[in-house]
Structure 1
Amino acid sequence: MRILVTGGAGFIGGHLAEAFAREGHDVVVVDNFTPYYDLGIKHHNVDVARQAASESGGSYELVVGDVRNAELMEKLVRDSDIVYHQAAQAGVRSSVDEPLRVNEINVRGTLNVLEAARDADLERVVFASSSSVYGTPEYLPYDESHPTYPVSPYGASKLAAESYVSTYNEVYDLPTVSLRYFTVYGPRMRPNMAISNFVSRCANGEPPVIYGDGRQTRDFTYVDDIITANLRLLDTDAADGEVMNIGSTDNISVLDLAEAVRDRVAPSMQIEYDERAPGDAEHTHAAVSKAADLIDYEPRTSIREGVSAFVDWYDANRDWYEPLVRSSMGAADAASAQSND
């Protein structure tokens, strides 16, 4: 199968490209390599996926390009069997600073993919949405019927894009699935996220910094569970036309997370606090019964197991990964480290 992964050099996209290549598929990745964080991580993702393809007999092609390029999207989508649309401008803080840019990439870019797809003979388009579409909770855990009131331009852009995905399914009979991810983490994760930030600081004798009072809670989802859900969609149409939560069902406060990292890496370290960033959701917690019913999704990694696994991976890959994390740990990045994606 020929699989197109937009944003396929990023964190989740890179893991998807690797998984598809490892199974012997022909993988095409398009990524614009915007330096939102140190590009060494993206280049490493490309190398890992390319190696997986060489070992499995599959193929891997990298296209340096942008989803805002409609002509490029038309060409790449036309030659594909299935599209995994991961490309986006991530980060709540960056969306607060540059809402027009986030809209252009996340909404207009998604429309370019959908326009290319509606005249192509595709198995389906799988769209990476976000728990940020929910905003302030009326109840927890969020199920897919929960009202959507985003509290950041990032969440609004994901909700708008998701609405277009559903509309193209309804109007043009395009097979689509939207997956609402809940704070994904794991090896090769973006360096400006809470877990990588906490681990790096503790490993270097610096206190982890919490933005706010630490009572915010998150449903952190280990990347292996995200990949499993996406792999299921290669072989089933049971979820076509649907929107589904993909989370861990296991949430934790940001303070408890910082303490779990601190206790593992630097037990004597004190935790520090700073001003909370605007647009940061108060709580997230996923109900995944819909995904369980449709694609037999079952998250397998608890947050504490996942944190331990990430610390082990960090230690084993510290020589190349840590300098990239440290180079990305500016004040603006740290302030968005507890965002929803």
Structure 2
Amino acid sequence: MSLSDRRALVTGGAGFIGSHLAERLLADGSDVLLVDDLSNGDRDRIPDGAEFLEADLTEPTALDGHLDDVDVVFHLAASKHVDTDRPHGQFDDNTRMTRNILEAMADADVTEIAYTSTSTVYGEAPRPTPEDYAPLEPISAYGASKLADEGLLSARAHSHDLTVWNFRFANVVGPRLRGAVIPDFIEKLRDDPEHLTILGDGRQEKSYLHVEDCLDAMFHVVDHANAAMNTYNLGTRTTTSVDRIATIVAEELGVDPDREYTGGERGWTGDVPKMRLSIEKLSALGWEPSLSSDEAVRRSTREIIEEFQ
């Protein structure tokens, strides 16, 4: 399914990945409507040429009248903090948003949705983790909400005329990223180049995917997968440790700080300390990442440093 010359609605469109997605869709000739409540997003990220609706998607009527001419929905909006102090509220918000979007799509006869899920639906699973790994046992409310959303989408896909592209992301990095380890280290070392505090023991090791590779993979899957429910891991074949990220950021800033660790194998409650997704299913569909995990981290570090200057 080609996205050119179609009208796309992007929820969370003023966020990190959503704003990059909007730019890519516009460049490919799509009409784009972005929806965001700006709790995590930034109005300055909204690209020229996109329409914008400020709305709270937990409200059932938020999309009334806005999907009548939409062809495809990209649902990225979510409460994303894994270590939230309101886990039940986060679960309720995320599942309510997805339910409301599905109801609005049904009312407007929109039958295609791309959903951004997460590697955290797997919990602490053997690596590399394939899409058919079971049982899925998330260890955070965020992961639980994403898994519940996948269930809602699957039920609608298999019982109604709906096509779902369900993407389980590794850690996506790149320009505009905030509230994650790379920008956190950059900010800390700009404030104090002699000392860096690292959450956990620094041995946490995960796969990092550059946002441009992420978008390439998403578009490839949408173009080449046409089942009712299409679930794909998006990631790299390699991983990067938190200690290695600290080294890369320090090298790019030209500093050599002492390191202090808060201790424990997790950076925060609900953190999965080691993650690498299998991308064999994605590879069989004809797509491979252009950057390794380390390369994605280094490129993103340079891009974010440039933004901070």
- The answer to whether TM tops 0.5 is yes
Deviation at 1:69, TM superposition (A): 2.2
Q: State yes or no: 1:23 paired with 2:28.
A: yes
Instruction: Give the match for residue 143 of structure 1.
Output: 130
Deviation at 1:187, TM superposition (A): 0.3
Q: State yes or no: 1:257 paired with 2:226.
A: no
Unpaired segments of 5 or more residues in structure 1?
54-59, 320-341
Change (3 A) 1:193 1:5: same
CA distance in 2, matches of 1:259, 1:237: 39
Matched residue type, 2:23: E
Matched residue type, 1:314: I
Deviation at 1:26, TM superposition (A): 0.6
Q: CA RMSD in A?
A: 1.8
CA distance in 1, matches of 2:200, 2:299: 26
CA distance in 2, matches of 1:195, 1:102: 24
CA distance in 2, matches of 1:106, 1:229: 24
Deviation at 1:18, TM superposition (A): 1.0
Q: Which runs of 4+ in 1 moved over 6 A?
A: none
Q: State yes or no: 1:44 paired with 2:44.
A: yes
For the 8 Å contact 1:3–1:82, the answer to whether it is kept is: yes
CA distance in 2, matches of 1:146, 1:74: 38
Deviation at 1:173, TM superposition (A): 2.8
For the 8 Å contact 1:203–1:266, the answer to whether it is kept is: no
Matched residue type, 1:310: S
Instruction: Give the match for residue 279 of structure 1.
Output: 270
Deviation at 1:310, TM superposition (A): 2.1
| The 10-residue stretch of structure 1 (172-181 or 229-238) with the greater mean CA deviation from structure 2 | 229-238
For the 8 Å contact 1:77–1:113, the answer to whether it is kept is: no
Aligned with 1:215 (options 203, 207, 213):
203
CA displacement 1:118-151 (0-9 Å, x = unmatched): 34443510011000101111x2101011121101
Aligned with 1:5 (options 10, 14, 25):
10
Matched residue type, 1:6: T
Deviation at 1:155, TM superposition (A): 0.6
Deviation at 1:284, TM superposition (A): 0.6
Aligned with 1:304 (options 285, 290, 294):
294
TM-score by length of 1: 0.82
| The 10-residue stretch of structure 1 (301-310 or 123-132) with the greater mean CA deviation from structure 2 | 301-310
Q: Return the structure number with greater helix share.
A: 1
Aligned with 2:148 (options 139, 143, 160):
160
How many equivalent residue pairs?
299
SS in 1 for 2:166: strand
CA distance in 1, matches of 2:225, 2:110: 12
SS in 2 for 1:235: helix
Aligned with 1:178 (options 158, 163, 166):
166
Deviation at 1:245, TM superposition (A): 0.4
For the 8 Å contact 1:205–1:266, the answer to whether it is kept is: no
SS in 2 for 1:140: coil
Aligned with 1:292 (options 267, 273, 283):
283
Instruction: Give the match for residue 232 of structure 1.
Output: 220
CA displacement 1:177-213 (0-9 Å, x = unmatched): 1100111111001x21001111222233343322111
